[in-house]
Amino acid sequence: MKRIIKFITVLIILYIVCIISNLTKAMSRTPSSFVEETTIGGIILINDEYVKVNQATFDLNFNGNHGINVEDHIEKSAYLRMTYDLSYTGSNSSVRFSLPLLNKINYLDKGVQILVDRVEIEPKLNISPHYNFYSYGSFTQMLEQDFFTDYRENMLLNYEFMHDVMGYQYTVKAPKTCDNNSLVNTKLSFINVPIDTIFFDANNFNKDGNIITSEWYAIKSEEEFVFFSSSDILVVEESFEIEQYKDIPINSGLKLDNARITKTEMKLSEYLDDNSFESQRFLDTQKRIFYYNIDRLWNDSVKYQVFYSTNYLNYIIPKYYEMSLEFDVDFYKPQMQVEIKLPIPIHCYQKEMTLEVVPNPAQKMSEFSYLNVQIHIGEKLLSSSEPNSQDSSTYQWLIDGDTTLKMVFANSSYKNPYGIIFTSVFFSILIIIVLAIILFFIVLYSTITIIRFIFTKKNQDKDR
What are the strands, taking DSSP E only, across 143-283?
A: 166-173, 183-191, 198-200, 206-208, 211-219, 224-229, 234-245, 248-255, 260-267
109 secondary structure, DSSP code: T
pLDDT number for residue 31: 44
**Mind listing the pLDDT tens digit of every residue in the chain (464 residues)?**
555 555 556 555 655 555 555 555 444 444 444 688 999 999 999 888 899 999 999 999 998 777 788 887 788 899 999 999 999 999 998 999 999 999 998 888 878 999 999 999 999 999 999 888 888 889 999 999 888 777 778 888 888 999 999 999 999 999 988 877 788 889 999 988 999 999 999 999 998 877 899 998 888 888 999 999 999 999 999 988 887 655 555 566 678 888 899 999 999 999 999 999 887 889 999 999 999 999 999 998 888 999 999 888 888 888 899 999 999 999 999 999 999 999 999 988 888 999 999 999 988 899 999 999 999 999 999 999 999 999 999 999 999 999 999 999 999 888 765 554 555 555 666 777 777 777 777 777 777 777 776 766 666 655 55
Q: What DSSP assignment string belongs to 210-243?
A: TEEEEEEEEEPTT-EEEEEESS--EEEEEEEEEE
Q: What is the pTM of this model?
A: 0.77
24 secondary structure, DSSP code: H
Helix (H, G, I), strand (E, B) or coil at 457: helix
Separation between Cα atoms, residue 73 and residue 57, nearest integer Å: 29
By the 10 Å C-beta count (0-12 exposed, 13-18 middle, 19+ buried), 201 is classed as buried
pLDDT number for residue 458: 61
pLDDT number for residue 26: 47
Separation between Cα atoms, residue 452 and residue 292, nearest integer Å: 71
